[in-house]
Amino acid sequence: MSKVISAVPFLDLAPQFQALEAEWLTAIRASGAKGSFILGPNVTAFEQEFAAYVGVKHAIGVANGTDSLILSLRALGIKNGDEVITTPFTFFASSEAIDSVGATPVFADIEPGSFCLDPASVRRCITAKTRAILPVHLFGHPAAMDEIMAIAREHKLAVIEDCAQAFGATSGGRVVGSIGDTGSFSFYPTKVLGCYGDGGMITTNRDDLNEHIRRLRNHGAVKPFLHTEIGCNSRLDEIQAAVLRIKLRTVNSDLDGRRRVAAEYDRRLADAGIKTPSRPKNGTHAFNLYTLRLPRRDGVRQALTDNQIGSSQCYPLGLHLQDVYQHLGYQPGSLPVCEQATTETLSLPIYPGMPVEHVARVSAAVNNALAPG
């Protein structure tokens, strides 16, 4: 009789939904009953609670994480002819936002351990046109913020932290999103703090940016029907805010759950001769993703697929080598640390509440695939 093997999904959001379903639906019904759907009392309360968690003066709810980057860049006055230094090893939205305001992304290389921007490479990218640095706290690992902030101060550059993958990570005792001029968050359902659709948040300590972003997200209006500039429609709705308020209350235990899964993988993969995720020297990892660096990556991935185990290849091509950026003139070899990472990285399933038997099965499949002979 053949043994039935249950699949190990890359991500399973259903248990979390089931656990919170009753509370979510009650909150959603209550906002509907009040006739409050967009930018209502849940959004205001969530903005305050979010700002308190991150440790900033202001948090502004927007429609998604991409908009949170675009509106931050716009409020900082970044425009056509400006250059913004960012990482090529990230989701496309990080650089797409720079193009969306008419500026040019300039790609610096990454650090081999953290997969985040390498400050030494950032320095080499600075020109007379550089206006800002956009570090991404990738996979939940904080970027080297002390060094990046020092470069920014020296050259009078703005810093936009892309925290889409790193809600709850810390650097130098500060929660990410509280260090640069702005912090940018996504509530896409796969994120550490995910909502019931799309959503995003911008954090800042600057009153001028807070006011400006609040205008921009609502058609540039200073008050109803009075517009002082061209803005857009990027508002957070009450359903998302109601759900996010509930999730924010237990997000620390979700973060602990992710860290426990990561520690279990570390232990079970310790003898595999591969590089398990590095930990920040002076901070904490949020483990939105658990990403290995390993030889024969494609073979290992195939072995996982054969064992009905989900995995993800984040990211298979550096942004500097994407077709859309051909005009920028990068060539294979331009950013070697990033390019090596694109051939060696593999993300394993991780989410709070992932059964330990699944962690064991994934680890055993990786160990077997790498075993000699």
Ligand X SMILES: Cc1ncc(COP(=O)(O)O)c(C=O)c1O
φ, ψ of residue 46 to 5 degrees: the values are -65, -40
Angstrom distance (rounded) from CA 115 to CA 341 = 8
The two three-digit tokens of residue 353, written as one number = 């509440």
Q: Which is nearer to ligand X, 109 or 198 (CB)?
A: 198
Strand partners, 105: 84
Binding mask 55-84 for ligand X (x = CB under 6 A): ---------xxx------------------
Candidate ranges 85-93, 102-110, 111-119, 256-264; the one touching ligand X (CB under 6 A): 85-93
Angstrom distance (rounded) from CA 370 to CA 73 = 44
Angstrom distance (rounded) from CA 22 to CA 106 = 47
Angstrom distance (rounded) from CA 47 to CA 54 = 11
91 binds ligand X (CB under 6 A): yes
Candidate ranges 23-31, 161-169, 271-279, 335-343; the one touching ligand X (CB under 6 A): 161-169
Q: Which residue has the tokens 């483990």?
A: 287
93 binds ligand X (CB under 6 A): yes
241 binds ligand X (CB under 6 A): no
**List 143, 144, 164, 202, residue binding ligand X (CB under 6 A):** 164
Burial of 240 from C-beta contacts in 10 A (0-12 / 13-18 / 19+): buried
CB-closest chain residue to ligand X: 65
165 binds ligand X (CB under 6 A): yes
Task: Count the site residues for ligand X by CB under 6 A.
Answer: 15
**List 94, 182, 342, 345, residue binding ligand X (CB under 6 A):** 94
Do you find a cis peptide bond into 188, omega within 30 degrees of 0? no
Q: Which is nearer to ligand X, 300 or 319 (CB)?
A: 319
Angstrom distance (rounded) from CA 93 to CA 70 = 9
Angstrom distance (rounded) from CA 82 to CA 150 = 20
234 binds ligand X (CB under 6 A): no
Compute the half-sphere exposure of residue 160: CA atoms within 13 Å on the CB side of its CA.
Answer: 33
188 binds ligand X (CB under 6 A): yes
State the nearest-atom distance from the C-beta of 113 to ligand X, in Å.
Answer: 18
Per the CB < 8 A criterion, the answer to whether 201 and 175 are in contact is no
The residue among 152, 145, 151 whose CA lies nearest residue 166 is: 145
The two three-digit tokens of residue 279, written as one number = 């930990």
Candidate ranges 34-42, 89-97, 246-254, 256-264; the one touching ligand X (CB under 6 A): 89-97
3 state SS of 120? helix
Binding mask 285-304 for ligand X (x = CB under 6 A): --------------------
State the nearest-atom distance from the C-beta of 96 to ligand X, in Å.
Answer: 9
Q: Which is nearer to ligand X, 8 or 93 (CB)?
A: 93
**List 105, 140, 183, 200, residue binding ligand X (CB under 6 A):** 200
Q: Which is nearer to ligand X, 198 or 237 (CB)?
A: 198
Report the interface residues with ligand X, using CB under 6 A.
64-66, 90-91, 93-94, 136, 162, 164-165, 186, 188, 198, 200
